[in-house]
Chain A
Amino acid sequence: MRVTVRLFARLRDLAGTGELTREVPDSATVHTLWRSLTAEMPSLAQYEGTMSVAVNAEYARMTAVVHDGDEVAFMPPVSGG
């Protein structure tokens, strides 16, 4: 199945794009997707301990199961205000 990946701020810079699509196996989790992204782009891995994730614009955990057509976001620590 196919999911959309959104990357923000420095994660977007490191990946060179803010949006991409990836094939993931059925019953994949956010973590499965992250593992495949960091295999492809190792520089992203530095954010593993500090980033937040969202599925379909709702905060989620790495253990969340993703579904076909989902939008999964990876976000560095925030700095609004």
Chain B
Amino acid sequence: MAQVAVTSEPLDVHALTREVLRLKPDTTYGGADGAIATFTGLVRDHNQGRRVRFLEYEAYVPLAVRALSLIVDEAQTAWPTVRLGIHHRIGRLDIGEASVIIAATSPHRGDAFAACRYAIERVKQIVPIWKREHFEGGEVWLEGATADPEDEAAKQVAHRIACA
């Protein structure tokens, strides 16, 4: 299993957590992990007043994998004791299914929580994945942020949210 992935298979947060725990810790920090923080994003049954039937996710896969790796690098630079992994699902997802999972391990809980939160904020900013919402009465592409990994202001926003 890879540290980052874009897949049409169902996501498994326990398997990702085991994978992240297996990554070799930086010996500078030596100590064993004291915390794992995980995040799971789920398909919700409502959005902006609409009753959602299901979502369809599309990705530019090779660039999405690169963007996820960049987010891992950014988080591990900001919180050097943290190791983390991110998997994003694509294709048709029904209500209640997991669309994204993140696992972050660290000697201390604060860094694990912060890195996990940072990672999901960055996913929403710079990973080339789109969701098409199929709701009762129609369907629509959702559009959020203009993806620009070099936008320092966006990076600062993610960092501020992570440390709030």
> Footprint of B on A, CB under 8 Å?
6, 8-10, 13, 50-52, 54, 57-59, 73, 75-81
B127 cross-chain contacts in A, Cβ below 8 A? 78, 80
CB–CB B142/A52 < 8 A: no
CB contacts under 8 Å to A, within B144-163, are: 144-150
B41 & A6 in contact (Cβ 8 Å cutoff): no
CB distance from B71 to the nearest CB of A (A): 11
- Interface size of B by CB at 8 A reads 33
Q: How far is the CB of A9 from chain B (nearest CB, A)?
A: 4
A6 in contact with B60 given A52-B146, A77-B147, A78-B124 (CB within 8 Å): yes
Determine whether the beta carbon of B141 is less than 8 Å from that of A80.
Answer: no
- Choose one: B60, B62, B131, B148; the contact of A79 (CB below 8 Å): B131
Interface residues of B (CB under 8 A from A): 41, 57-60, 62-64, 66, 88, 99-100, 120, 123-132, 141-150
CB distance from B16 to the nearest CB of A (A): 16
A9 touches B63 (CB 8 A): no
State the total of A-B contacts with C-beta under 8 angstroms: 90
**Contact A81–B100 (Cβ < 8 Å):** yes
Q: Using Cβ atoms and an 8 Å threshold, which residues of chain A touch B64?
A: 80
List the 6 closest pairs (A to B, CB-CB), nearest first.
A80-B129, A9-B130, A57-B62, A79-B142, A77-B143, A10-B141
Residues of A within 8 A of B143 (CB): 9-10, 50, 76-79
Evaluate contact between A9 and B58: CB separation under 8 angstroms.
yes
Does more than half of chain B's interface fall in helix, strand or loop, or is it mixed?
Answer: mixed
Contact check, B147 vs A79: say whether CB atoms are below 8 A apart: no
Which has the most chain B C-beta neighbours within 10 Å: A9, A54, A78?
A: A78
How near does chain A come to B24, taking the closest CB pair, in angstroms? 28
CB distance from A58 to the nearest CB of B (A): 7
**25 A-B pairs in the complex with CB atoms less than 8 angstroms apart:** A8-B60, A9-B132, A10-B130, A10-B143, A50-B146, A54-B60, A54-B128, A58-B66, A59-B147, A73-B128, A75-B60, A75-B128, A77-B143, A77-B145, A78-B144, A78-B146, A78-B147, A79-B124, A79-B142, A80-B100, A80-B123, A80-B127, A80-B128, A80-B129, A81-B88
- 20 more contacts with CB within 8 A, not counting A59-B150, A79-B130, are A6-B60, A8-B58, A8-B128, A9-B130, A13-B141, A51-B146, A52-B146, A59-B63, A75-B128, A76-B141, A78-B143, A78-B147, A79-B124, A80-B127, A80-B128, A80-B130, A80-B131, A81-B99, A81-B120, A81-B129
